[in-house]
Structure 1
Amino acid sequence: MAPAASKRNTKTEAKIKSAFTTLVKTKGFETMTVSDIARAAGINRGTFYMHYVDKFDLRQQLIDDTIDDLTRILVEQTNPSRPTTRRASESVCDAFQSRSIAKALQYMKDDYAFFDAISQSGNDMSLYEHFKDVLKRLIMTQAKHRSAAPQTMYNGIPADYAMEILVSAVAAIVWLWIRRGCKESPEEICLIIERNKTTAPADILW
C-alpha cells in the first residue's frame, strides 16, 4: 500500500490522475516513468511518493477509486433500505434501474478520457471484469432486501448462470459504448439496456 499522506490532497491527486491519463495515451503505460508523471503533473517526485508507491500502485488506486465510485452510484441509488415485497414477475433484471444506470453512465462520460486510457481504448478487459463485479454486487444487494427467499432458477436457468448472462449483457453494452467514444447519451444507452432486458438474443437481429 502507498504511504498515507497526513492529509488527503485532492488537488494534487487530480493533477497526477490527469498527467497519468495523458501519458497513457501519448506514451503508453509500460514506457512512462514516475519522473514523467511528476513532470506532467507539475510536482516533484517526492510529492508523488507521498501518495503512491510507483506507477503500478497509482494505476491500481485509480481503478479502485473508480470502482468504489461506480459501486456507490449503482448500489446507493437503488435505495435498498426501502423494503419491498417481491412480486412473482420480478427477476434479476429489476436490480438495474434506469436512474442508477444513467448516473453511472454519466460518471463515465464525464471522465471519458480516463476510462479510454485505463482500458486502452477498450482493449484491456480488467476494468470490464471489475464493472461486472459491481453489477453482481448490485443484484446481490437488491436480493438481500427482498422479503422472500432468493430464487434459485429464472425461467429455467440456474440463478448463477442467469446473473452471468445479465451482467455480461449490460457490461458488454457499456463497454462497447466506451470503445465507441461514449458518443450516445447515457439516456440512449439506458434505453438499449432496458430493451435488452425483454428481448431474446435470437430476436435481436430479426
Structure 2
Amino acid sequence: MENKVRKTNTVADIKKAFVTLISKKGIREINVTDITRAAGIGRGTFYTHFTDINDLLETIESELLDQLSTDINAVIPDAMDWLMVDKGEGVPAPFILETLNNFYQNREMIAALLSAHGDPYFLGKVKQIIFADLNETLKKLDNDISVNDNIPMDYAREFVIDEVMSIIVYWISKPEPEKPAEVVQTITKLQRTAPINIFTKQKGESDRE
C-alpha cells in the first residue's frame, strides 16, 4: 500500500513539474533533467514511470481526453433533447457544461497544454471528441432536425463547436477562471445573440435630448 501511494505521489509530482515547465520554457524546450530537478527526483525514477517526454505528454493527454469522452458520453441523451428544444429558452447545451466541468477540474494542466507554449495539436484532439459525440447525436436525429438556410451540416457543426471552444480556451486561460455554471450561462447568451448585435452603442447626451 505504501509503495502504491509513493508511486502515485511521484507521478503527480512529475506531472506538476511538467505543467510548471510548460509555462516557463515551452513544451519543446523541456528535457528530462528539467523535470527531475523540478520534481525533486532522480532520472531513474522518471524512467520508471515514463520512457521519455513524449510518453509523459501522451499519457497526460490520453487521461484528460478519455475522461472528457466519458463525461460527454454520459450526457448524450440530454444533448439529443437539447438539439430539439427552442434555443430561445436559453437552455445550455449539456456537452458544453460537461466540457467546462472537465476543464475546470484539470484547469492548470489544460491551460498549459492549450497555451502558446503547449501542444498545438491538443485543441484539435479535444474537438475530435466533441465532434464524434455530436455527430452521433445528429445521426440519431437525422429525420427530426435540419440546418437553417440550407447551410451544409459540416459547416454548421464546425461553426457551433469553434465558437464555443474559442470562448472555453479564453476562459480556462484566465488566471482565475469563473466557475463553469457561470460561464455556461454567458456562452448560452452569446449563442442567442447574433455577432453583429453583441455590441451596441450607448446613448450619449446628444442622443438623450
Deviation at 1:39, TM superposition (A): 3.0
Aligned twin of 1:28: 26
1:51 aligns with 2:46: no
1:96 aligns with 2:90: no
> Which has more radius of gyration?
2
Larger mean Cα displacement after TM superposition, 168-177 or 180-189: 180-189
Q: Find the aligned partners of 1:200 and 1:56 in 2 and give their Cα distance.
A: 42
1:184 aligns with 2:178: yes
Deviation at 1:145, TM superposition (A): 4.2
Aligned residue for 2:104, secondary structure, equals helix
1:199 aligns with 2:193: yes
Aligned residue for 1:43, secondary structure, equals coil
Deviation at 1:144, TM superposition (A): 4.2
Q: Is the CA contact (8 Å cut-off) linking 1:121 and 1:178 kept in structure 2?
A: no
- Cα RMSD of the aligned pairs, angstroms, is 3.2
Against the structure 1 CA distance between its residues 28 and 118, is the aligned structure 2 distance closer, same or farther, given a 3 Å change threshold? Answer: same
Q: List structure 1 runs of 4+ shifted beyond 4 angstroms.
A: 81-84, 86-90, 121-125
1:129 aligns with 2:127: no
1:80 aligns with 2:77: yes
Q: Is the CA contact (8 Å cut-off) linking 1:119 and 1:127 kept in structure 2?
A: yes
Aligned twin of 1:60: 58
Q: Find the aligned partners of 1:170 and 1:122 in 2 and give their Cα distance.
A: 22
- What is the letter of the counterpart of residue 80 of structure 1? P
Aligned twin of 1:171: 165
Structure 2 unaligned runs (5+)?
Answer: 1-6, 201-209
Q: Is the CA contact (8 Å cut-off) linking 1:35 and 1:45 kept in structure 2?
A: yes
Deviation at 1:37, TM superposition (A): 1.2
- What is the letter of the counterpart of residue 72 of structure 1? T
Deviation at 1:95, TM superposition (A): 9.2
Q: Find the aligned partners of 2:100 and 2:117 in 1 and give their Cα distance.
A: 15
Deviation at 1:20, TM superposition (A): 0.6
Structure 1 unaligned runs (5+)?
Answer: 1-8
Q: What is the TM-score with the length of structure 1 in the denominator?
A: 0.75
Which digits, 9 at most, give the CA deviation of each residue in 1:130-171, with x for residues without a partner? 22222212212323444x537563442111110001000110
